Amino acid sequence: MGPYFGVFVVVLIAHAIIRHRLMDLRLVVHRSLTLTIAILVSLLPVALLLAVLWPRLSALLDADHLLALLAAVVAVSLLIPVTRDAAGRLLDRYVYRTHVNYQRTVRQASADLTRVLDLKVLVPFLCRTLARATNSEGTAVYVRSDEGLRRAMGEHRLPGGYFETPETAPDVLLRALVAARDLILSDEIPRERPTPDRELLHAELTRLNWALVLPLLSENTVIGAIVVGPKLSGDPFYPQDLDLLMTLANQAGIAVKNGQLYAQVVLANEHLNNIVSTIESGVVAVNAAGRVTLFNRAAASMTGLSFEDVRLQPLSALPACLAGPLEQSIADDRRYTQPEVEVTAGGVTRPIMCTTAPLHEQDGTVLGAVAVFSDLTPLKDLEVERRRAERLAYFELLAAGIAHEIKNPLVAIKTFSQLLPRRLGDERFLQEFGRVVAREIERMERLLDRLRTLAHPAARPRHPLDLRAPIAEAIETIRPTYAEKNIILSTAVGPTPCLVLGDHSELEQLFLNLLMNAQEATPPRGMVRIELAAGADRVTVAVVDTGAGIPADLLQQVFDPFFTTKLHGSGLGLTICASIVQAHGARLAATNRPAGGAVFTVEFPLVTAEAPVSA
The rounded distance, in Å, linking the Cα atoms of 225 and 240 is: 20
Give the pLDDT mean for 254-259: 85
The sheet carrying 538-545 orders its strands as 488-492, 527-534, 538-545, 598-605, 587-592
The rounded distance, in Å, linking the Cα atoms of 472 and 494 is: 12
The rounded distance, in Å, linking the Cα atoms of 605 and 540 is: 9
587-599 pLDDT, tens digit each: 998 899 888 889 9
Average pLDDT over the chain, rounded to an integer:
78
How confident is the model at residue 368, as a pLDDT? 92
pLDDT band at 15 (very low <50, low <70, confident <90, very high): very low
CA–chain centroid gap for 538, Å, is 44
Which of 3.40.50.2300, 3.40.50.620, 3.30.565.10, 2.60.40.1840 would CATH assign to domain 463-605?
3.30.565.10
Q: What number of CA atoms fall less than 13 Å from residue 362's CA on the CB side?
A: 0
* Strand pairing class (499-502; 463-466): antiparallel
The rounded distance, in Å, linking the Cα atoms of 120 and 421 is: 108
Name the CATH topology of 102-263.
Beta-Lactamase (3.30.450)
Q: 381-455 maps to which CATH number?
A: 1.10.287.130
Closest CA to 561 of 405, 349, 407, 348: 405
The amino acid at residue 338 is Q
> Same topology for domains 283-371 and 463-605, yes or no?
no
For residue 315, the 8-state DSSP code is G
Domain 283-371 has CATH 3.30.450.30: no
Q: What is the pTM of this model?
A: 0.44
Beta bridge partners of 545: 528
Q: Is 151 exposed, middle or buried (0-12, 13-18, 19+ CB in 10 A)?
A: middle
Q: Please, where are the H alpha helices in 135-195?
A: 171-180
The rounded distance, in Å, linking the Cα atoms of 133 and 116 is: 19
| Contact in structure between 95 and 135 (CB atoms under 8 Å) | no
Residue 270 has pLDDT above 90, yes or no: no
pLDDT band at 9 (very low <50, low <70, confident <90, very high): very low
DSSP string, 198-255: HHHHHHHHHHHT--EEEEEEETTEEEEEEEE--BTT-----HHHHHHHHHHHHHHHHH
How confident is the model at residue 86, as a pLDDT? 63
pLDDT band at 59 (very low <50, low <70, confident <90, very high): low
Q: Which residues contact 93 (CB under 8 A, 6 or more apart)?
A: none
359-412 pLDDT, tens digit each: 998 888 899 999 999 988 888 888 878 877 776 676 666 666 667 567 667 766
Would you kindly state where each structural domain of the chain is located, as residue ranges? 2-94, 102-263, 283-371, 381-455, 463-605
Three-class SS of 376-430: CHHHHHHHHHHHHHHHHHHHHHHHHHHHHHHHHHHHHHHHHHHHHHHHCCCHHHH
Residue 556 has pLDDT above 80, yes or no: no
